[in-house]
Structure 1
Amino acid sequence: MPPYLRSQKALTRSELLTHQQALRAGPVNTTGLPALPTELLVEIVSYLPTIPVPATYAQNAAVFPGTCLERMRIMRALSQMCRSLRAVFLPLSWERIEACTIDRIDKMRRRPRAGLARSWERILATELVRQLEIVTIRDPSLASYVKIVNVILTTFSCETVVPELVRCLALFPNLHTVQFLGTSGPSRALDAFKGHTYPTVRTLVLPAFLSAIVRSFPRVTRIHSVWGPSQYVASQLCVGYCTDIEEWYGFEKIDYRLDILFDRKPVIDHLIEKLAKTRIMTLDTTNVSLSVDIINKLIKLPTLHQIELAIPFSKLEHIPPRVTMLIDAAKSVLRKPLSLNKQTMDRVLVLRFTDAVETVIARPLQPHTGSCATQLGALASS
């Protein structure tokens, strides 16, 4: 039987109301740090270390260090100093639900005995449930502050932890980013996501083993596939679960010729068809399946605004002919004529060399509005 993870120290409703009334009754501090403008206070705490989105360099066996907890701890301490600071830092201190950091990592990397969970898995699972309990049970008013969820799903007590997470995600009305970290996890517990959707989420980061939960986030506009064969995530996108995607990353190494749906149609054709709102496309020139023909197919994307090419050479090195051809093909796609009802907007080609990043402005051609004789006649009549 999984352990009971909820804290037994929850305040009663009367105690909570008494505590909140005591905070409101005190005088407002208008000197010192609280006297600074809100914008300046927010700018100061923005320099504290935090977990990036996407955190593409994290590993399941080496979770984030405790330094990433400093920002949360400092803001929660400031929110308890006075009413002025509480109004600023209470929403900021609970805008992230994060269970992917441990203070003392070195002692958590020991191999567990057969059948036993790692100690860091127990710590992360307990921390996740603790935070979810605070914002949904102890003080439900905090749920509206949650905007980002960063978690490492572990096998420890996953039969109870994952369903609890699934339940709580629906209680966050302003949630816009969900990031699942790790290279492996409780795949058997992911059935808890079936039948649940989270339409407010716009950014989704997930590893390959969680590809099945893509359908629970139908309104995402930005998706990152990390740590594993991205064709599993691509197969979910090809079916059409997320048709609002504008940016998709982590698919640079996929075989664009792969027949994922077994219908004799390459994956690139499915992605272009289902993800017609794509604005930013990332490609890697080291991918042997990437060719001029593949890039030319991107001209079918009506809203494509930017192409990013990863080039495994220094900017000062000689660029092989194949890479040069791919760059020229990308420029040609971005210079496609605009529709008559589209406003003129420059498109961007980003070349990511090993030692530099170069941005090339690709100005689209103007649409053809008629023959030269017709245009000259119109000018003459005017």
Structure 2
Amino acid sequence: MPPNLRSKKVLTREELLAHQQAIRAGPVNTSGLPALPTELLLEIISYFPTIRVPATSARNVEVFPGIYLQRTKVLRTLSQTCKSLRGMFLPLSWERIEPCASDRVGNNRRSSTRAGIPRLWEKVLATDLVRQLEIVTIRNPSLASYVKVVNVILTTFSSDTVVPELARCLALLPNLHTFQILGTSTPGGAALSTFQAKTYPTVRTLVLPSSALAIAKSFPHITRLYSLSTPDRMIIPKVLLEWCTDLEEFHGFEKMEYWMRIDQWLPMIYHIVDKLTKIQVMILDVSNATLTVDVIKPLARLPALHRIELITHCNRLGHQSLKVSEITDAAKDVLRRPLSPDKDPVDRVFVLRFMDGVETMAIPPDTDGTPPNARARCPCEYCRDD
């Protein structure tokens, strides 16, 4: 039987109200730290390290070090100092739930363990996750509205109880806009399947390992999707063409097969253009054998596209292949398309990413010309009108 990670201490409603009234009844402190301007206090807090959103640079991080616990500890301590500081720091202290770090990383982290024996930090993270979720949903539900970001590292430790509890509690956070599953391992599909019965309409940014992309179906209104590794080719059409059609940018899909035929009709790139009409950013990888100039040209029909990034895998001063030059020219031509009369002008940007640097170029739109002719809609199941 998996261990019970839920705390046994629960305040009654009367005890909770009495505690809150006692805090409000105290005198307002107008000297010392509370007398500092709000902007200065926020500036001080900003120097504490936080887990980035998106944390794609941490895709190989097994568990974060204890330094990432400092910000939350300081904020929650300050929120209990006096009435003046509580109003500012209490919402900030619960803005992020991120049981991703452990003070015991240095002593207990191992590259491998005996089969079936979890590392100590795995239990620490699982227990901390359940504890924080319990606080904002059971002990003090008024805190749930403060939570905007949830960053978690999920392991196989008690995953059959921890993951369902996470799936349940996320639905109780009304202002949640970012959800990240980090780390180098994830629970099996049986545990993650508990997300399928839930929907999280407020989430706009989703960061997942490729092994967990199936839960993207429960986040129908995300605008930014990050896969920490290349997804399986069979799930890409479902994610991009069925589940997440409000996307404005998607990362980690640079190795997709653009010419893979969907439903025996047109290739993948044409379905992307038809279904993802809100796309603003496209990231392309020149090492993808299926990336050609013919893939770039249809992007001109994306009305909101204003940024194209090309990953080159070469040095800035090195020789650029003919393929890179041709794709670069084609991408710039796409960004030069005339402005739509019914939309506000947006700066068009082309980015070349080298192994040793980045070049960014502003691309002005053409002032004379006609928009590309609209192609007839594809009649396959992905592009057929509902």
Structure 2 counterparts to residues 92-171 of structure 1, below 5 A = 92-110=92-110, 111-171=112-172
Distance change (3 Å), C-alpha of 1:61 and 1:2 = farther
Q: Is the 8 A contact 1:230 1:250 kept in 2?
A: no
Alignment partner, residue 376 of structure 1: none
Alignment partner, residue 208 of structure 1: 210
Following the alignment from structure 1 to structure 2, what is the Cα–Cα distance between the partners of residues 344 and 142?
40
Which amino acid in 1 is paired with 2:154? L
Q: Determine whether 1:309 maps to 2:310.
A: yes
Larger mean Cα displacement after TM superposition, 349-358 or 207-216: 349-358
Alignment partner, residue 56 of structure 1: 56
Which amino acid in 2 is paired with 1:14? E
Alignment partner, residue 228 of structure 2: 226
Following the alignment from structure 1 to structure 2, what is the Cα–Cα distance between the partners of residues 180 and 31?
42
Deviation of the 1:227 alpha carbon: 2.7
Residues 48-67 of structure 1: per-residue CA shift (max 9 Å, x gap): 10111121233577211111
Q: Is the 8 A contact 1:221 1:245 kept in 2?
A: yes
Deviation of the 1:212 alpha carbon: 1.0
In structure 2, list runs of 5 or more residues that go unmatched.
371-386
Alignment partner, residue 383 of structure 2: none
Distance change (3 Å), C-alpha of 1:51 and 1:238 = closer
Deviation of the 1:102 alpha carbon: 1.1
- SS class of match (1:359): strand
Alignment partner, residue 372 of structure 1: none
Following the alignment from structure 1 to structure 2, what is the Cα–Cα distance between the partners of residues 206 and 164?
18
Alignment partner, residue 275 of structure 1: 276
Deviation of the 1:2 alpha carbon: 1.5
- SS class of match (1:67): helix
Distance change (3 Å), C-alpha of 1:323 and 1:237 = same
Deviation of the 1:184 alpha carbon: 3.0
- SS class of match (1:218): coil
Fraction of identical pairs, as percent: 59
- SS class of match (1:44): helix
Which amino acid in 2 is paired with 1:132? L
Following the alignment from structure 1 to structure 2, what is the Cα–Cα distance between the partners of residues 12 and 343?
54
Following the alignment from structure 2 to structure 1, what is the Cα–Cα distance between the partners of residues 81 and 233?
50
Deviation of the 1:368 alpha carbon: 4.7
Q: Is the 8 A contact 1:178 1:205 kept in 2?
A: yes
Q: TM-score, normalised by structure 1?
A: 0.90
Structure 2 counterparts to residues 185-334 of structure 1, below 5 A = 185-186=186-187, 187-229=189-231, 231=233, 234-259=236-261, 261=262, 263=264, 265-334=266-335
Structure 2 counterparts to residues 356-371 of structure 1, below 5 A = 356-366=357-367, 368=369
- SS class of match (2:246): coil
Structure 2 counterparts to residues 63-78 of structure 1, below 5 A = 63-78=63-78
Alignment partner, residue 31 of structure 1: 31
Following the alignment from structure 2 to structure 1, what is the Cα–Cα distance between the partners of residues 289 and 241?
25
Deviation of the 1:22 alpha carbon: 1.6
Greater radius of gyration (CA): 1
Alignment partner, residue 352 of structure 1: 353
Following the alignment from structure 1 to structure 2, what is the Cα–Cα distance between the partners of residues 294 and 278?
15
Distance change (3 Å), C-alpha of 1:245 and 1:322 = same
Alignment partner, residue 176 of structure 2: 175
Residues 107-162 of structure 1: per-residue CA shift (max 9 Å, x gap): 33333332333332222111110000011111111000000000112211112111
Q: Determine whether 1:18 maps to 2:3.
A: no
Distance change (3 Å), C-alpha of 1:103 and 1:262 = farther
Which amino acid in 1 is paired with 2:50? T
- SS class of match (1:240): helix
Following the alignment from structure 2 to structure 1, what is the Cα–Cα distance between the partners of residues 56 and 341?
40
Larger mean Cα displacement after TM superposition, 312-321 or 50-59: 312-321
Following the alignment from structure 2 to structure 1, what is the Cα–Cα distance between the partners of residues 234 and 215?
11
Which amino acid in 2 is paired with 1:198? Y
- SS class of match (2:239): helix
Alignment partner, residue 5 of structure 1: 5
Distance change (3 Å), C-alpha of 1:108 and 1:272 = farther
Following the alignment from structure 1 to structure 2, what is the Cα–Cα distance between the partners of residues 366 and 183?
49
Q: Is the 8 A contact 1:225 1:233 kept in 2?
A: no
Following the alignment from structure 2 to structure 1, what is the Cα–Cα distance between the partners of residues 50 and 232?
26
Following the alignment from structure 2 to structure 1, what is the Cα–Cα distance between the partners of residues 152 and 341?
46
Alignment partner, residue 384 of structure 2: none
Deviation of the 1:344 alpha carbon: 3.8
Alignment partner, residue 378 of structure 1: none
Following the alignment from structure 1 to structure 2, what is the Cα–Cα distance between the partners of residues 262 and 105?
48
- SS class of match (2:283): strand
Following the alignment from structure 1 to structure 2, what is the Cα–Cα distance between the partners of residues 232 and 99?
32
Deviation of the 1:42 alpha carbon: 1.5
Following the alignment from structure 2 to structure 1, what is the Cα–Cα distance between the partners of residues 350 and 125?
41
Which amino acid in 1 is paired with 2:321? P
Q: Is the 8 A contact 2:230 2:252 kept in 1?
A: no
Following the alignment from structure 1 to structure 2, what is the Cα–Cα distance between the partners of residues 133 and 232?
37
Deviation of the 1:267 alpha carbon: 2.5
In structure 1, list runs of 5 or more residues that go unmatched.
370-382
Alignment partner, residue 84 of structure 2: 84
- SS class of match (1:70): helix
Q: Is the 8 A contact 1:272 1:300 kept in 2?
A: yes
